[in-house]
């Protein structure tokens, strides 16, 4: 599926020019261009390439090239994408849903943690998009029909880590398990997607704006993009659909029990960890003491985490 902002147009250029030069469409109808008329033989570039004595033998210049290209109608500077490349870019695949331009124009000002497909299950305020696959350490995978993949963290991890200060990407290219390190309150914690994929890039924008990871975990906060690798099963062992929603419900419950345990151990030193409804507060990590924070990360978000209660 193509991005709705991806448009197509005809681009004409002169193959005789030393540097590929685009010929603006519409000039021919204004009588300002000779390339597509029998008058092309008067063109200096044509005569130099074809020879001084060359005579016109057609209605348009043989050096006039025309191709169909695509371009982003929302980009401030128009950049043409050849048809053969569009399907490999996020514009020509489902990956457009992770493009900042698309998100800003299609859903201005919305935080997708709470918006999006209204049919998606929401568990205690945590959205569990149906189209995604989930890992036991609270990461998600979006894999499209053409094999395009995106990876990020889920809504529960995003809600717990609001005070994130830094993101470092450990893997950038190649068939690898996508890995990054999150820094919060002086602790740097590794997050690793359990299956290998062909990584083509990381969301480097998050280095300057780490808050985007937790504000919009299913949209602009994506971490890695790439492709399903032929040698690896990127979806292996992951949960989706109703199964994922049921697991998330158990995880929310498990998190609430963890928080009750923290409160019982050291309530004098902690701020409020539960909302009035008994649900763990946003930025739980920012409220915990160092030891409890490490326990939280280890029990819920460790790279080696296994499925709990499924």
Query: How many residues sit in the footprint of ligand SF4 (CB under 6 A)?
Result: 23
**Owner of token pair 């830094």:** 166
Does residue number 96 form part of the binding site for ligand SF4 (CB under 6 A)? yes
Among 11, 27, 88, 101, binds ligand SF4 (CB under 6 A): 101
Of 32 and 306, the one with the shorter C-beta distance to ligand SF4 is 32
Does residue number 86 form part of the binding site for ligand SF4 (CB under 6 A)? no
Among 28, 63, 246, 270, binds ligand SF4 (CB under 6 A): 63
Site stretch for ligand SF4 (CB under 6 A), options 88-96, 221-229, 245-253, 255-263: 88-96
CB of 13 to ligand SF4, least distance (A): 8
Does residue number 282 form part of the binding site for ligand SF4 (CB under 6 A)? no
Does residue number 229 form part of the binding site for ligand SF4 (CB under 6 A)? no
The mark string for 139-168 relative to ligand SF4 (x by CB under 6 A, - otherwise) is ------------------------------
Site stretch for ligand SF4 (CB under 6 A), options 43-51, 134-142, 147-155, 200-208: 43-51
Does residue number 61 form part of the binding site for ligand SF4 (CB under 6 A)? yes
Does residue number 247 form part of the binding site for ligand SF4 (CB under 6 A)? no
Phi, psi of 277 (to 5 degrees): -80, 5
Does residue number 16 form part of the binding site for ligand SF4 (CB under 6 A)? yes
Which H, E and C letters describe the chain, residue by residue?
CCCCCEEEEEEEEECCCCCCEEECCCCHHHCCCCCCCHHHHHCHHHHHHHCCCCCCCCCCCCCEEEEEEEEECCCCCCCEEEHHHHCCCHHHCHHHHHCHHHHHHHCCCCCCCCCCCCCCCEECCEECCCCCEECCCCEEEEECCCCEEEEEECHHHHHHCCCCCEEEECCCCEEECCEEEEEECCEEEEEECCCCEEEEEECCHHHHCCHHHHHCCCCCCCCEEEECCCCCCCCCCCEEHHHHHHHHHHHHHHHHHHHHHHHHHHCCCCCCCECCCCCECCCHHHHCCHHHHHHHHHHHCCCCCCCCCC
Quote the tokens at residue 78: 């128009």
Site stretch for ligand SF4 (CB under 6 A), options 37-45, 181-189, 279-287, 301-309: 37-45
CB of 11 to ligand SF4, least distance (A): 13
The residues of the shown chain that bind ligand SF4, judged by CB under 6 A, are 3, 5-6, 14, 16, 34-35, 40, 43, 45-46, 61, 63-64, 72, 74-75, 90-91, 96, 99, 101-102
């Amino acid at each position: 599926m193509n991005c709705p902002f991806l448009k197509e147009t005809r681009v004409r250029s002169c193959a005789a020019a030393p540097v590929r030069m685009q010929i603006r469409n519409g000039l021919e109808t204004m009588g300002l261009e000779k390339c597509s008329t029998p008058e092309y033989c008067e063109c200096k570039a044509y005569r130099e390439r074809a020879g001084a004595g060359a005579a016109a033998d057609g209605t348009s210049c043989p050096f006039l090239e025309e191709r169909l290209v695509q371009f982003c109608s929302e980009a401030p500077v128009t950049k043409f994408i050849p048809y053969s490349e569009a399907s490999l870019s996020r514009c020509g695949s489902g990956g457009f849903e992770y493009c900042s331009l698309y998100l800003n124009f299609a859903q201005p000002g919305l935080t997708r943690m709470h918006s999006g497909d209204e049919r998606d299950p929401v568990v205690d305020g945590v959205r569990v998009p149906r189209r995604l696959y989930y890992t036991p350490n609270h990461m998600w995978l979006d894999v499209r029909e053409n094999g395009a993949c995106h990876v990020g963290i889920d809504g529960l991890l995003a809600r717990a880590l609001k005070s994130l200060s830094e993101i470092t990407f450990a893997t950038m290219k190649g068939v690898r398990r996508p890995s990054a390190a999150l820094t919060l309150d002086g602790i740097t914690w590794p997050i690793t997607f359990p299956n290998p994929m062909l990584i083509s890039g990381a969301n480097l924008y998050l280095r300057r704006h780490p808050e985007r990871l937790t504000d919009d975990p299913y949209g602009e906060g994506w971490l890695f993009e790439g492709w399903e690798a032929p040698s690896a099963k990127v979806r292996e062992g992951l949960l989706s659909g109703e199964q994922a929603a049921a697991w998330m419900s158990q995880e929310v419950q498990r998190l609430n029990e963890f928080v009750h345990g923290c409160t019982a151990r050291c309530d004098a030193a902690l701020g409020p960890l539960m909302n009035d409804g008994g649900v763990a507060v946003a930025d739980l990590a920012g409220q915990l003491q160092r030891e409890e924070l490490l326990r939280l990360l280890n029990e819920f978000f460790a790279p080696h985490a296994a499925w709990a209660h499924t």
